[in-house]
Structure 1
Amino acid sequence: MNRRNFFQSLGAVAASGIALPTWATQTGLQQTGGIGKAKPLFRANPRLTCLRGYQGQDVSCDSAWIEGKIPSDLRGDFYRNGPGLFERGNQRYHHWFDGDGMVHAWRFGEQGVSHQARFVRTKKFLAEQQAGEFLVPAFGTPIEAKIPMRSSDTMNTANTNVIQLDGRLLALWEGGSAHAMDASSLQTHGIVSWAPELAGMPFSAHPKVEADGTMWNFGTMMDRLVMYQISAQGKLIKHHVMKCPRTAMAHDFAISQKHLIFLLSPIALNMDLLRAGRSMVDSMEWKAEESTKVLIVEKADFTKSRILEIPALMLFHFGNAWEENNIIHLDFVKSNDLTNFNTWMPKIMRGEDVASEPSNPAFLRIDLNTNKIRLTERLENAEFPRVDPRVVGQRNQFLYYPHAVNKRDNNAFNGVMRLHVDSGKKDVFDFGERYRLEEHVVVPKRGSRNEGEAWLVGVGFDVDRQTSFASVFDAQNLSAGPVALAHLPYWLPHCFHGNFYSRA
């Protein structure tokens, strides 16, 4: 550790006098009955407290306890989104992806850092809050529908990402519509429809926003792909629906200067299992003998595309893509198959502290002149890659990841890493075994012009103290340790994704 021995090992927190609310200090959820019979649903496990979930309550803290010093030019709102509720009545979700969305606002101001979190008031959330039970099937949990299933938005959890577009927040879930929210109060306004003919169409949780504010996004429906181009003012510029190689799940994509790039993994959906009552996750089958399809679509004309192939691989997240001399360079995080998705995640949702399969930084070089592809990968265990927002879709020097540092069990990210793409050099900070980190995002320093002149901001969970914190690093010197931590008096459910929006 560095940065003054990581703030004297956080010893000052114990003397801060912060009192934890009763619900935040419980050792575990009530052990309740499962689907059809009584059984424990979540084993109390302090390492996995952040996956227990809340019971539907909103939370706030007007003034986080600051350790170190928040940089004077770091002013703005850090929004995060993730599943926050996993249990109702006698049922608990089997999969992390199933929980109801909870949007968080960490506000960095002159007076310090505050935190506010509210559940997205989807139609599903409101109906189930009133009923006190789950009413619709979930992505990874077989639940009998108790209300009419009119569209995918009936089960929309709005739980994966949150972006700001033209002054309003959009809570995103890849299977259905975006939900608009007020950026100040986090009040839910309702479903967004980009055009009448697009009502209810899937809108991915991973839109790509270029430096000028132009947003690109997609949605998949088995063998159909819808693509969107949206202006910085939130107006639909164009869209297109096309037939594409069939896959049961496409979570993310990348953009370069001229193209949208998709890697469609060989995941089949067993319809017999689905009709027999299995969840969608439990009905997915990995086809190792088949290829991953590389779909490349022209930005200027969505009707123009080509499909290439590489050996079977699994991925969730891209970092960035760029092209030069008709060669596309892109990076992503590679896994071998569906093991983490359909085996590891259900286990941790039961409170089992089990090892996951590693996921590694990987890189593709796609030569559009010859249609040849070269794959390279690294050995670090990492996920959630991010780049400086000023270089999205342009050539980038750096990638930033949460990183499992010196961990044999590969079960939690406990460090941050900056990778220099060309040289392969790394800058790493290790928080130690007691911390579990979420995605970290890049926030350009005020007045800076060069990529990487930025702050790296993220959220983590302190296992020993059972509380959550926001961390701030100088993105040019991660190994020196965090310049500041903003501690909350309670723990938060782990989030998936979010974005920082600076204020003048």
Structure 2
Amino acid sequence: MERRAFLSSVAATGLVAALPTTGMAKSGTPAFNPRHTPMRGFDGQDVSCDSLAIEGKLPPELRGTFFRNGPGLFERGGERYLHPFDGDGLVHAYRFTDKGVSHRARFVRTEKFKAEAQAGKFLINGFGTRVKAGMPITSSDSFNTANTSVLLLKGQLLALWEGGSAYALDPNTLETIGPVAFSRELAKLPFSAHPKVEPDGTTWNFGAFGKNLVLYHFAPDGTLVRSGVVESGGVGMVHDFVVTERHIVFVLPPAEFDFKAFSSGKAITESIIWHPDRPTRVLAIDKSDFSRRREYELEAFSLFHFGNAWEDAQGVIRADFVRSDNLSLMIDWMPRMMAGESIPAPTTNAAFLTADPSTGKARLEMRTGNCEFPAVDPRIVGRRHRQLFMPGSVRNDGYSGFDYVMRLDPETGKEDRYVFEAGVSLEEHIVVPRPGSCKEGDGWLVGVGFDSRRQQSLVNVFEAGNLAAGPVAIARLPYWVPSCFHGRWV
């Protein structure tokens, strides 16, 4: 990889300078509805519980650790962040053993976190909050919150944040080891929070900066096989991607980052220009040769998360993700939620993409209903799948959040769902395969949530093939924890 050329593009983004944002940190904690308690965040403390209260019966084969990551600290020195993306990373380990379920959560000790903990106040700007500068900025890692997801690679648990380095943790204690450099050339370059792990353990990831995407390819043992840089066309937001057996696939919305506006002191959100008259582009890159690519065009829309992708013998690519009309979810709704408002979220729908290389055309089919965080059985990542799992919202009243889990057949539209009673809000749920089984969906759906009636966080366990029957077990913490974004089962 040509490091010098790439770093020139990194410098052009201005992200090694102080980030202008939507406004200064606000003083005091807003009045939160009890249903939104997790958005208060912690004060920087680590927590643990050796034995969660179990309702129902844990499957005897379900043994391992459910790691989760998300922003856990939003306030210091009487000031509060304006956007959830700004919060410092808090990594959780829910360990399932013969004795039951235990929980431990520890903050990732990034350089930012350590400096601000010592000072007792915010020292550096976040994604959506301007802070009076109090520490030197040396690279994008100066802003690194390590707050989005996790990945186990070569025996280390990586806390991921898409703007900079992965942070290594001890998977047993959650103690922070430090930032990871996969090679000298890749040090401090972005490593996204959504790596894709194929059934044989091969791992792919990317990092987005300016008009470029860095691509990473790891062998099943975690060794870096190769990396490369491709042009993305200057898209202002690339959060997730998917892989098929032959391709790396991106869907690039028409969101342009205005570097001139950013450099003049405007906010990041004010520097992202949405072009509804421009197409959303589908970029398919050959895994074996990053220089080989195909592009397709669709009407303008935005997205955060994919479920899966696959392609047939003719090379027709199919992918599913959650679609939104524009960036209002990130730019408007999230800051209002951080301010304690209870308003319905913008509509997000399951979408199904078909891209045909023989015609050069792509099309999109959508399914109504608010949903997010799509997931598939990890044994069929990049392969044809018949089951897509996701939480969704029946009520969408600004208070309930996600209130059901669903298993959907992408081809027939048949679904299996369980709706929780009012007062329970859900986060991402993932598939944990049954040991010894090769059948898609044979296993459990495991995820976390918050019970506002008891002010407790919880872990749900479903039989993945029968969600309508309800959880087979619920493990309840004796306290609440801040909401997370993503997790993995190990």
Cα distance 1:144–1:208, how it changes in 2: closer, same or farther (>3 A)? same
Name the residue aligned to 1:348: 337
- Cα deviation code 1:348-406 (max 9, x no counterpart): 10111111111100001100111111110000211000000000000001000011124
Instruction: Tell me the equivalent position of 2:448.
Output: 459
Check the 8 A contact 2:342/2:399 in 1, yes or no. Answer: no
Aligned partner of 2:269 in structure 1 is 281
Q: Which amino acid aligns with 1:309?
A: E
* Aligned equivalents of 1:419, 1:235: Cα separation in 2: 35
Check whether the contact 1:240–1:303 (CA below 8 A) recurs between aligned residues. Answer: no
- Residue 168 in structure 1 maps to residue 156 in structure 2: yes
How far apart, in 2, do the equivalents of 1:342 and 1:146 lie?
A: 26
| Whole-angstrom distance in 1 between the partners of 2:398 and 2:44 | 32
- Which residue number in structure 2 is paired with residue 372 of structure 1? 361
Deviates more, 1:329-338 or 1:142-151: 142-151
Q: Verify the 8 A CA contact 2:195 2:204 in the aligned structure 1.
A: yes
Structure 2 unaligned runs (5+)? 1-21
Q: Is 1:261 aligned to residue 257 of structure 2?
A: no
The equivalent of 1:22 in structure 2 is none
Structure 1 Cα separation of the partners of residues 24 and 386 of structure 2: 53
Pair 1:347–1:409, CA change in 2 (3 A): closer
3-state DSSP of counterpart to 1:348 = helix
| Whole-angstrom CA distance in 1 between matches of 2:448 and 2:300 | 33
Q: CA RMSD in A?
A: 1.5
Conserved in 2, the CA contact under 8 Å of 1:322 and 1:394? yes
Write the distance in 1 (CA, Å) between the matches of 2:203 and 2:430. Answer: 18
Equivalence for 1:487: 476
Aligned length: 468
Alignment-derived partner of residue 278 in structure 2: 290
Q: CA deviation at 1:458?
A: 0.2
Task: Please report how far the alpha carbon of residue 140 of structure 1 lies from its aligned counterpart in structure 2 after TM superposition.
Answer: 1.2
- Asked if 1:394 corresponds to 2:375, the answer is no
The Cα of 1:101 is off from its aligned counterpart by: 0.3
1:362 aligned partner: 351
Match of 1:192 among 167, 171, 180: 180
Report the equivalent of 2:416. 427
1:218–1:227 Cα contact (<8 Å) kept: yes
Q: 1:326 is paired with a residue of what secondary structure? A: coil
The match for 1:76 among 60, 64, 69 is 64
**Distance change >3 Å, CA 70–CA 197, structure 1 → 2:** same
- Counterparts of 1:99 and 1:284 in 2: how far apart (Å)? 21
Q: Is the 8 A contact 1:356 1:411 kept in 2?
A: no
Q: 1:452 to 1:461 in 2, by over 3 A?
A: same
| Among candidates 377, 381, 385, match of residue 374 of structure 2 | 385
Deviation at 1:310, TM superposition (A): 1.1
Q: CA deviation digits over 1:79-102, x for unaligned, max 9?
A: 000000001113211111110000
d(CA) in 2 for partners of 1:388, 1:380: 22
Q: Deviations over 1:24-72 (max 9, x none)?
A: xxxxxxxxxx977975542232111111110000000000000000000
Q: Deviations over 1:185-219 (max 9, x none)?
A: 00010011111011111000000000111100001
CA–CA separation in structure 2 for the residues paired with 1:144 and 1:55 = 20
Matches within 5 A, 1:61-460: 61-324=49-312, 325-409=314-398, 412-460=401-449
Contact kept, 8 Å, 1:381 with 1:404, in 2: the verdict is yes
Shift of 1:152: 0.4
Q: Which amino acid aligns with 2:437?
A: S
2:37 to 21, 39, 49: 49
Could you tell me how far apart the structure 1 residues matched to 2:454 and 2:370 are?
Answer: 26
Quote the Cα distance in structure 2 between the aligned partners of 1:153 and 1:279: 19
Quick one: structure 1 residues 142 and 236, their matched pair in 2 at CA, closer, same or farther if it must change by over 3 Å?
same
1:273 shift after superposition:
4.1
SS of corresponding position for 1:49: helix
Secondary structure of the 1:197 match is coil
Determine the C-alpha separation between the residues in 2 that align with 1:500 and 1:39.
38
Question: In structure 2, do the counterparts of structure 1 residues 278 and 424 end up closer, same or farther at CA, with 3 Å as the change threshold?
Answer: same
Aligned-residue offset at 1:148: 1.6
Deviation, 1:462, is: 0.3
- Identity among equivalent pairs (%): 51
Question: Using the alignment, how far apart are the partners of 1:293 and 1:74 within structure 2?
Answer: 41
Distance across 1 between alignment mates of 2:114 and 2:78:
18
The aligned amino acid for 1:63 is S
> In 1, are the aligned partners of 2:163 and 2:191 still within 8 Å (CA)?
yes
TM-score normalised by structure 2 residue count: 0.93
Change (3 A) 1:137 1:36: closer
Aligned equivalents of 1:400 and 1:103: distance in 2? 23
Shift of 1:242: 1.8
1:166, 1:476 → 2: CA distance?
A: 32
Equivalent pair of 1:35/1:91 in contact (CA under 8 Å): no
| 3-state secondary structure, aligned to 1:351 | coil
Counterpart residue identity of residue 42, structure 1: P
CA separation of 1:259 and 1:35: change in aligned 2, threshold 3 A: closer
Distance (Å, rounded) in 1 between the aligned partners of 2:277 and 2:399? 27
- Equivalent pair of 1:457/1:470 in contact (CA under 8 Å): yes
Q: Whole-Å Cα distance in 1 between the matches of residues 25 and 416 of structure 2? A: 50
CA positional deviation for 1:302:
1.2
When normalised by structure 1's length, the TM-score is 0.90
**Cα distance between partner residues in 2 of 1:319 and 1:336:** 18
Are 2:25 and 2:131, in contact at CA under 8 Å, matched by a contact in 1? no
Report the alpha carbon displacement of residue 145 of structure 1 after superposing the two structures with TM: 2.7
